[in-house]
Amino acid sequence: MTPRAAIRILVAALLACAAGAGAAPRLPASGAEVLEDLPWRADPQQRELRALRARLQEAPRDLPRAVEVARRYIEVGRRDADPRYYGYAQAALAPWWNQPAPPPQVRLLRATLLQSEHRFPEALADLAALTAQQPDNAQAWLTRATVETVRADYTAATQSCARLSSLADELVTTACIANVGAMNGRLAASERLLAAVRARAGGADTPAVDAWVLTMLAEMAQRRGAADVAEARFRDALRLAPRDTYLLGAYADFLLDAGRRGEAAALLAPHARVDGLLLRHALAARLGPELAELAARFDAGERRGDGVHLREQARFELALRGDARRALAIARRNWDVQKETADARILLEAAFAARDVAAARPVLDWMRSARVEDVQLARLAAKFNANGGKA
């Protein structure tokens, strides 16, 4: 596999982690209910996966075969927002999964899968060991930078991105650096840099990577309040990757913030299987059956101890159930794990609704120390600063 192909696969995997996993299990209302349309057995992709799996079953300890199968499952799981494929990927790596020092190829994929479950300390431990062993592994440095950014360790993330400069192409390296800078007081400069490099390169060499960069640029414009620029970029990205679940969720949030609920509902109607997208569709359409479905999914996640959807669950409790205290408790648990602008926003919204200024303090402190630039967060912070800090 060429370095560029490897980076493309990794970008897809990282987007999958950002987007989150799919639906939690539930009981059907009756035996006649259609739960899901399974992939057609004649589908070329499914035939290819079956063939790869059959070859691996013949020799389950064949490392190159296992790595190829796991990579393919991660690609498909990311594209279809289907967490079952991540489970299949882990199963393919089973002979090495619990080893303290597995082969480097396995260690990278294990870190990617751990990241998708928000098991960030374990993922970082694997990545630190891997980059020490293979300092020229571009995939490992990019994954490491992504996890460090989510955990608000911007100094470490910048250092990890810097290691990419001689290992990956300019656009991927710039996207890595700009993503960190945009979170750490350099939003406008990061946006200008990334847009200029993309324009000079004529876009990325694959639609998936170009959609990733365009989505990043759209969110940067949205955070500084440039709605027209953000929308144009979102639409360009959707033309390249119309099924990208992270992109669909980001654009739906943009539409919801603009009060364009009908457009958001139409955008998300075909994607109800994905928890985050079903939540946004419910926010747009306010359909009773969807609320019950979401409640069942989140309750199942609570029973499993699943922390992947805490941000969405807090948003559900606040916006659709009106339970500010419960929303705040969940948002605080989520903030302990990850610190992105969406995580900050739901915690501030829940803290304000619950009239709990102390609960908002960690986010307000983070905004000041990281010099976060985001018009929505600034409006929320201003509410706490008014009237002597009373919510």
The chain-wide mean pLDDT, for the chain, equals: 88
State the Cα angle at 162 between 106 and 363, rounded to 5°: 90
* pLDDT tens column, 110-151: 999 999 889 999 999 999 999 999 999 999 999 999 999 999
At which residue do the structure tokens 């939540």 appear? 279
CA distances from 168 to 97, 111, 195 (A): 27, 19, 18
pLDDT on residue 387: 56
Determine the average pLDDT of the residues in 59-66.
92
Q: How far is C-alpha 280 from the chain's CA centre?
A: 15
In this prediction, residue 10 has a pLDDT band, given cuts at 50, 70 and 90, of low
**75 vs 222, which has greater pLDDT?**
222
- What global pTM score does this model have? 0.86
Residues 210 and 203 sit within 8 Å (Cβ to Cβ): yes
List helix spans (H) across 81-169: 84-92, 94-97, 104-116, 120-133, 138-150, 154-162
pLDDT tens-digit series, residues 277-315:
999 999 999 877 888 888 888 888 777 766 678 999 999
Please give the share of the chain, as a percent, with pLDDT higher than 70.
Answer: 86
More confident residue, 284 or 53: 284
**Is the pLDDT confidence value at 259 over 50?**
yes
Complete DSSP assignment for 184-208: TT-HHHHHHHHHHHHHHHTS-SSHH
Contact partners, residue 257, CB within 8 Å, separation at least 6 = 376
With tokens 């989505």, the residue in question is 215
